[in-house]
Amino acid sequence: MEKILNEIKEALENVTEINELNDIKVKYMGKKGVINDLTSKLKDLTVEEKKTFGQQLNELKSNVTIMLDEKRNEIEKKKLDEKLKNEKIDISLPATKIPVGCPNILENVIEELEELMMSMGYDVVEGPEVEKDLYNFELLNLPKSHPARDAQDSFYTKDDTILLRSQTSPVQARTMEKGKGETPIRIICPGKTYRRDEDDATHSHQFTQMEGLLIDKDISLANLKATFDVVAKKLFGEDRLTRFRPSFYPFTEPSVELDISCFNCGQKGCNICKGTGWITVGGAGMVHYKVLKNCGYDPEVWTGFAFGFGIERLAMLKYGINDVRTFYINDLRNTETYNRRDV
């Protein structure tokens, strides 16, 4: 056995490659190797002999294993050292560009509005997109068979009590319900809304709105006008003028359309304002007394205003986009282009 050990030691001295090492391993430790050959001789020995011979054999095996492992480590380390020696890193090379994402354009508009409204003390709240008819319509003074429901042709689920919300206005009702008719309310609610519209350049079956609601004591249209003024100037420039145009919404009385002076032509008339000098960006009004009542607020004590913006419309005006489908076609070039323009 000593002879074998020395033989292996000698053989390993000249080994520089892993495959040479493997050859030695097979020769001595393989199935038909020298050591296995010795093992097969065990059966011809007496019990006593077996004991000592077996022990020596085990020792030999573990010694050889250690020697082979050490040699393997030595070869691998040598190879790695050589590789590192030849490897050069040029730290003056410019770094590779890592592509970074950018927010969706609609998200930009929402964030800008959220920041502004929060600075005026509004909370941002969310409501469910799968909504009860009760919140989406009934509590908002749109009972079944109300003709104004037709304007919001909706996606109902299994029956006529649950639908994909057709507006963010149901969050008004949900928030008032939580307020229990007692606390002042100042909230905005951005979110997705759905209507059974044919998709084209100006219609989308899914779109985004931002609702606003303020309930307190002694609130008047003047407060709404002042708030709208701040929003218009922030989104479309300091020299924007604003105006109210009479309108109708079942949940507000009086109701108004929110117009801003055209930022494109300085009110001379262009194709964006269709020659009128004014652009409509949302709807609003004083919360209808029936809505206050339905949601637990005493209209003799509380008054409030509400407003709703179409986020796609705001984004289209702000970024000069003329097809609403731009937001939904998953072409990242759009997102990148309009974000860059915004910087």
Q: Which residues bind ligand DAH (CB under 6 A)?
A: 167, 169, 211, 249, 252, 283-285, 306-308
Helices (H), 33-154: 34-41, 47-86, 105-119, 133-136
Please choose, from the candidates 215, 225, 153, 146, the residue with its C-alpha nearest in 3D space to the C-alpha of residue 186.
215
Q: Identify which of residues 165 and 318 has a Cβ nearer to ligand DAH in the complex.
A: 165
DSSP state of 33: S
Q: Identify which of residues 242 and 252 has a Cβ nearer to ligand DAH in the complex.
A: 252
Q: Identify which of residues 154 and 335 has a Cβ nearer to ligand DAH in the complex.
A: 154
Q: Identify which of residues 190 and 283 has a Cβ nearer to ligand DAH in the complex.
A: 283
Q: Hey, what are 44's tokens?
A: 């011809």
Distance of closest approach, residue 235 Cβ to ligand DAH, in angstroms: 17
Distance of closest approach, residue 129 Cβ to ligand DAH, in angstroms: 14
Distance of closest approach, residue 301 Cβ to ligand DAH, in angstroms: 20
DSSP state of 30: S
Q: Which residue in the shown chain puts its C-beta closest to ligand DAH?
A: 308
Distance of closest approach, residue 307 Cβ to ligand DAH, in angstroms: 5
Residues 191/256, Cβ–Cβ less than 8 Å: no
Residue position matching structure tokens 């020769």: 27
Q: Identify which of residues 208 and 326 has a Cβ nearer to ligand DAH in the complex.
A: 208
Phi, psi dihedral angles at 185 (to 5 degrees): -125, 135
Q: Hey, what are 262's tokens?
A: 């055209």
Distance of closest approach, residue 124 Cβ to ligand DAH, in angstroms: 16
Distance of closest approach, residue 233 Cβ to ligand DAH, in angstroms: 20
Please choose, from the candidates 237, 239, 238, 179, the residue with its C-alpha nearest in 3D space to the C-alpha of residue 213.
179
Q: Which residues contact 196 (CB under 8 A, 6 or more apart)?
A: 153, 154, 155, 205
Q: Identify which of residues 190 and 285 has a Cβ nearer to ligand DAH in the complex.
A: 285
Please choose, from the candidates 125, 141, 105, 102, the residue with its C-alpha nearest in 3D space to the C-alpha of residue 190.
125
3-state SS assignment for residue 308: strand
